[in-house]
Structure 1
Amino acid sequence: MKPLRYFAAVALVVATTSSAFAADPVFPPGARVGMTPLVGLNKARAFIGFETEDQGVKVLVADLPAEAYGEVANAFKANPGGTGGIKPESIETSAGLGYYTVENGKDGATNVRRYSMILPGPTFSGYVAVQVPENASKIYTDDAVRQMFASAKIRTEVPVEEQLGLMPFKMSELSSFKNIRTLAPGAALILSDSDEKKGFEIAPFMIIGLIGSTAASPDDRGRFAQQIATTIPGVRDGRITMSEPVRIDGQPGYETRIDAISGKDNTPVTIVQWLRFGSQTSMRIIGSSPRDDWTKAFPRFRAVRDGIHPRG
C-alpha cells in the first residue's frame, strides 16, 4: 500500500477575510481532530471541517487507520527529498510529530494550493487536508497554513451527546455499551464493549445507520434483506440461520440472523441484522456477539433497536 495514497484519497475543495488565529483549538462536531482555524474559517456545512463563507477555502479533517501514520512516516524518512517535486515536511503538534505535503493543482479551471497532513493518534491516525484557491493565496499563505497545522490537537473521545446529536435519528437506549463512536459523523454509529485496538468482534457490538436504498416492493424485502446481510464487513463463512419479516417501531422491517467467523482471531459470532424500511432509505441495525455471549447480548441489541426513533 503506497503511503501517499492516504493523502490523495480524500477529495477536497477550501477564501477568507483574515489570517489571524482564533483563540483556542476547535473540534468540528463529531471529529477527533481539531485545530485553531484561521479567522474567516467556520464550521463546514457539508463535510467535517471548516470553510470560508463563500466555500472557497476548505479544511477537511478525518480519521485514518492507526497504521497509516507509521507508513507515511517511514516513507518520508526513507525518501526525505520527496517524489514528483513534492517534498515532505514535518511539524510539531500537541499530538506529536506531524508530516505534511504541499502541492499545486487544479479544481476544475481554478488553480489551487493543496496541503495534506497526517498526525499520530492513540488508536487512529489524524488527517487534515486544506485547499486554497489562487485568489485567496495572499491571505492563506504557506506560513499561515503551517501555523494552523501546528495547532492541531487530538481528542481520544468525542462526547456521546455530541455524536448522537449528529445522527438523523434519536436514541433513548444505549444498553450500557462501554464505547460509542461515530464511524462516519452523521451517518453511522458503533456501540461496543471492545475497541479498535483489541478488535470489536471479541465482545458484543452494534453498528447503526441509514442506507440509501430500500426494497422495491413488500414482496422483495426478504431478498433485499438477505442480499444486504452479505455485505456486513469483516464476516467470513457466514450462514443465514433465520430471515423473516418483523415490525419495528410500527414500521415494516426484516430480521436476519447469521452464524459466521469474524476478526483476526477467527471468533465464532452470531449476528442479527434488522432493516426498517422507509420510502427511499432503510434503517440498518447490526448486532454482533461472540456466540457464547449471544443469550446475554441479544436483549441489549433489541433494547437499543427499540429506542431508535425519527427526529422531529
Structure 2
Amino acid sequence: MMPFRVLVAVALLIAATCRGFAADVVFPPGAHVGMKPLVGLNRAKSFIGFETEDQGVKVLIADLPADAYAEVVSAFKANPAGTGNIKPESLETPAGLAYYTVESGRDGASNVRRYSMILPGPTFSGYVAVQVPENASKIYTDDAVRQMFATAQIRNEVPVDEQLGMMPFKVTELSGFKNIRMLAPGAALLLADGDEKALETKPFLLLGIIGSAPATPDDRGRFAQQIATTIPGVRDGRITMSEPIRIDGQAGFETRIDAVSGKDNTPVTIVQWLRFGAQTSMRIIGSSPRTDWEKAFPRFRAVRDGIQPRG
C-alpha cells in the first residue's frame, strides 16, 4: 500500500497543478463556448464572458459564422509564419483543434496583452478574446491563458430558458416556435420555424429593444414607417397598412409590408409592432411566406401579447 505521506504529496501536487483554474468548465449565460476560467475571473456584468473584479482582465466569448473557422485554417496553412510579427498557433481542446494568436498593444494609456482564439462549432465558430493589462501580466501569463484556452468546450445549444432570461423583458409565450436563438446578447431574439439558412421560407419573429423613440405622439407614424424601411433582407417592399394601436395598455404602432425576401425571391408579408417607452421602443418583426400568413399572424400576436416587463 502506498504510504500516507506519499498520498498526501500526490494530493498536494494535484492541487498545486489545478489551483489556477475553476474546478469545472463554466459556460457564461448565453454562450456556446465554455472553459475553466483562471482564478480571479468571474462572470462579466456587461458582456458574455469573464472579468476580474476590477474589470481589468477581460475574457469575451462570442459566436462567429460557421465558415470563419475554415477561413482561419486556410490562412494558417497558406502562411504559417503569420503576418506583422503575429504568428498563429494551434492548440488541442475538447472542442477540437483551435487556433490562437498573441500580441501586445495599448488600451488608452495602458500596455496590454491580447489573445484571440477560434474554435470549430457545428453551425458556428466559437471565438474567445482575452485582454490582460500590464499590471496583471505576472498572474495572467501567456502560459496561463494558453492553459485556460486548452480547456475550452462547445455546447451545441444554449438552453432556451437561459436565453430568455437574458432579455430585458419576459417572453411567456413561444407559440410553437422551436428554433430560439439570441442574436445580440440581451438585446435581440429570434424565434423561427426554420433554420437560418432559409429563414424567409417559414414564419419567424425578431424581438428586441431599440434605443430611440419618437419625440412626440405626432411623430409615431413617421417613426414607424421610417424604421420599417430598415428591415434587413427585404426587397421591393410596399407598406399596406400603418396605424396606431395599444399593446398591453401602452402606445404602439402596427405596420404591415408586402415584399420579397431571400435568394428565391419568396413573397412575404411582414408585420412590425412598436411599443413606445420614454426613451426606447420595443420592436417586434414577424415575417411569413404570404401563403402561410393567415396561420402565422395569430402566432405572432400571441408572442407579442405574452411579452411582459421584468420585475
TM-score interval for Structure 1 and Structure 2 normalised by the shorter chain: over 0.9
User: Partner of 2:146 in structure 1?
Assistant: 146
Q: What are the within-5 Å matches in structure 2 for residues 123-272 of structure 1?
A: 123-196=123-196, 198-272=197-271
Return structure 1 stretches of 4+ with deviation > 2 angstroms: none
2-structure distance, mates of 1:88, 1:131: 17
Report the secondary structure of 1:297's partner residue: helix
Conserved? CA contact 2:47–2:185, under 8 Å: no
1-structure distance, mates of 2:26, 2:198: 30
Residue 95 of structure 1: how far off its partner (Å) = 1.9
Conserved? CA contact 2:239–2:258, under 8 Å: yes
User: Partner of 2:8 in structure 1?
Assistant: none
State the percentage of identical aligned residues.
Answer: 82
Deviates more, 1:257-266 or 1:112-121: 257-266
Gaps of 5+ in 1: 1-17
User: Partner of 1:84 in structure 2?
Assistant: 84
RMSD: 1.2
Distance 1:78 1:176, change over 3 A: same
Deviates more, 1:92-101 or 1:288-297: 92-101
1-structure distance, mates of 2:261, 2:118: 30
Residue 93 of structure 1: how far off its partner (Å) = 1.6
User: Partner of 2:122 in structure 1?
Assistant: 122
TM-score normalised over the length of structure 2: 0.92
Distance 1:248 1:162, change over 3 A: same
Residue 68 of structure 1: how far off its partner (Å) = 1.2
Residue 199 of structure 1: how far off its partner (Å) = 2.4
Report the secondary structure of 2:206's partner residue: strand
Deviates more, 1:103-112 or 1:152-161: 152-161
Report the secondary structure of 2:195's partner residue: coil
2-structure distance, mates of 1:249, 1:122: 39
1-structure distance, mates of 2:32, 2:57: 21
2-structure distance, mates of 1:188, 1:63: 14
TM-score normalised over the length of structure 1: 0.92
Residues 165-215 of structure 1 show CA distances to partners (whole Å, capped at 9, x for unaligned) of: 11111111110101111111211111011122x322121110001000001
Residues 13-41 of structure 1 show CA distances to partners (whole Å, capped at 9, x for unaligned) of: xxxxx971111111111111111111110
Report the secondary structure of 1:102's partner residue: strand
Residue 265 of structure 1: how far off its partner (Å) = 2.7
Conserved? CA contact 1:99–1:117, under 8 Å: yes
User: Partner of 2:277 in structure 1?
Assistant: 278
Gaps of 5+ in 2: 1-17
Report the secondary structure of 2:131's partner residue: strand
User: Partner of 1:63 in structure 2?
Assistant: 63
Residues 145-168 of structure 1 show CA distances to partners (whole Å, capped at 9, x for unaligned) of: 111111111111111111111111
User: Partner of 1:34 in structure 2?
Assistant: 34
Conserved? CA contact 1:240–1:258, under 8 Å: yes
Report the secondary structure of 2:283's partner residue: strand
| Aligned residue type for 2:227 | I
Q: Which is higher, the Rg of structure 1 or of structure 2?
A: 2
User: Partner of 2:98 in structure 1?
Assistant: 98
Distance 1:95 1:263, change over 3 A: farther
